[in-house]
């Protein structure tokens, strides 16, 4: 009887172990989305934590919803998320909030899902619409209100945008509602986010969806249209970790907060440009930055 009970207990322990996250088994899973800034942040985090003694499993190039779902389900321990994305896409909050209010709201809402938002960086990677500097005289656009007026007047201004921007409420659908216009689907060129910059640079489209911290905005001499109705919410870049992972590795909070303090808009623009414009590898840019900051 005792032996049967012992075997049953052993089998149960094996089943339990098989369902544990990597964090609980000694391997920390770091995730990232499928664009340059996210690849950089995932690599930065992985190299940084490896230097601190962690065994890292790095998983990048994931879609936004996929990486979030993976974290909620315990398949990913840690990744960098944006306050606006969690606020609107994952928590369906459409209130207009200040950057601090947005951070506090997602911190509270996601805590109920077992996710801990650590200290926010000063990098705000919000959506933006841009035109080429040489096209400003032709298009006569300075604000998104100007763009709305031009579209409502029937001007066929094409736009290059990522698939998520076209479908998300913090993207084109919400923008159309706020500014009172409707983009003809024939004028929307959906493509990988990285390709929108090249499409705009080479004049394949009139408007391009960009990110405010992307180094190519300055390098390609794009002019960002002013969001004069303040539609786009704050997208502070913040490390988010599972609560159970943090219980296992409480030192993660101080380590990630230390990295977060090193990041702001100018820093992210420079790092992104080193990859996308200077064609350095993500690994090289990440390691150089960590060494410059004396983090490794």
Condensed to tens digits (0 to 9), the pLDDT of residues 156-174 reads 999 999 988 998 888 999 9
Give the residue, 291 or 211, on which the prediction is more confident. 291
Cβ contacts of residue 63 below 8 Å, gap of 6+? 33, 34, 164
Handedness of CA 96, 100, 104, 107 (dihedral sign): positive
With b meaning 16 or more CB within 10 Å and e meaning fewer, what string describes 202-225? eeebbbbbbbbbbbbbebbebbeb
Dist CA 209 CA 224 (whole Å) = 9
6 pLDDT higher than 80: no
Give pLDDT tens digits for 215-230: 999 899 999 999 999 8
Dist CA 92 CA 85 (whole Å) = 10
Q: What architecture is domain 2-124+235-292? A: 3-Layer(aba) Sandwich (3.40)
- Domain boundaries 127-224, CATH class: alpha beta
The whole-number pLDDT of residue 94 equals 82
Chain-wide mean pLDDT for the chain? 90
> Lowest mean pLDDT: which of 23-32, 101-110, 262-271?
23-32
Query: 208 - beta bridge partners?
Result: 130, 160
% of the chain with per-residue pLDDT over 90: 80
Using CB atoms within 10 A of its CB, is residue 262 exposed (0-12), middle (13-18) or buried (19+)? middle
Helices (H), 55-113: 64-72, 83-84, 99-111
Q: How much is the average pLDDT of 74-94?
A: 94
Q: How much is the average pLDDT of 134-143?
A: 96
Give pLDDT tens digits for 174-227: 999 999 999 999 999 999 888 999 999 999 999 999 988 999 998 999 999 999
Enumerate the CATH 3.40.190.120 domain ranges in the chain, comma separated: 127-224
Chain length of the chain: 296
270 pLDDT higher than 70: yes
pTM: 0.76
The whole-number pLDDT of residue 194 equals 80
The whole-number pLDDT of residue 26 equals 67
Long-range contacts of 165-168 (CB under 8 A, 24+ apart): 165/127, 165/209, 166/190, 168/88, 168/89
Is residue 218 within 8 A of residue 273, CB to CB? The reply is yes
Dist CA 67 CA 45 (whole Å) = 16
pLDDT range class, residue 16, cuts 50, 70, 90: very low
Is residue 206 within 8 A of residue 260, CB to CB? The reply is no
């Amino acid at each position: 009887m005792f032996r049967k009970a012992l075997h049953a207990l052993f089998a149960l322990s094996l089943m339990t172990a098989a369902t544990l996250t990597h964090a609980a088994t000694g391997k920390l899973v770091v995730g990232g989305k499928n664009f340059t800034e996210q690849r950089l942040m995932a690599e930065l985090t992985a190299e940084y934590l490896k230097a601190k003694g962690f065994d890292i499993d790095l998983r990048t190039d994931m879609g936004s919803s996929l990486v979030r779902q993976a974290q909620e389900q315990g398949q990913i321990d840690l990744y960098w998320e944006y306050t606006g994305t969690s606020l609107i896409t994952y928590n369906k909050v459409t209130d207009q909030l200040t950057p601090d209010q947005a951070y506090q709201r997602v911190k509270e809402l996601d805590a109920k899902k077992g996710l801990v938002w650590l200290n926010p960086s000063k990098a705000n990677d919000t959506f933006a619409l841009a035109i080429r500097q040489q096209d400003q005289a032709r298009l006569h656009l300075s604000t998104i209100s100007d763009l709305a007026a031009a579209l409502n007047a029937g001007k066929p201004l094409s736009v290059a945008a990522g698939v998520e921007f076209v479908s998300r409420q913090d993207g084109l659908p919400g923008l159309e509602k706020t500014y009172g216009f409707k983009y003809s689907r024939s004028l929307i060129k959906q493509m990988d986010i990285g390709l929108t910059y090249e499409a705009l640079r080479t004049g394949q489209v009139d408007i391009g969806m960009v990110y405010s911290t992307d180094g190519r905005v300055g390098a390609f001499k794009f002019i960002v249209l002013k969001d004069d109705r303040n539609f786009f919410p704050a997208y502070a870049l913040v490390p988010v970790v599972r609560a159970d992972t943090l219980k296992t590795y409480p030192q993660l909070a101080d380590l990630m907060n230390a990295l977060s303090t090193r990041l702001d808009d100018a820093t992210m623009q420079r790092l992104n440009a080193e990859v996308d414009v200077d064609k350095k590898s993500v690994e090289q840019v990440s390691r150089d930055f960590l060494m410059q900051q004396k983090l490794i």
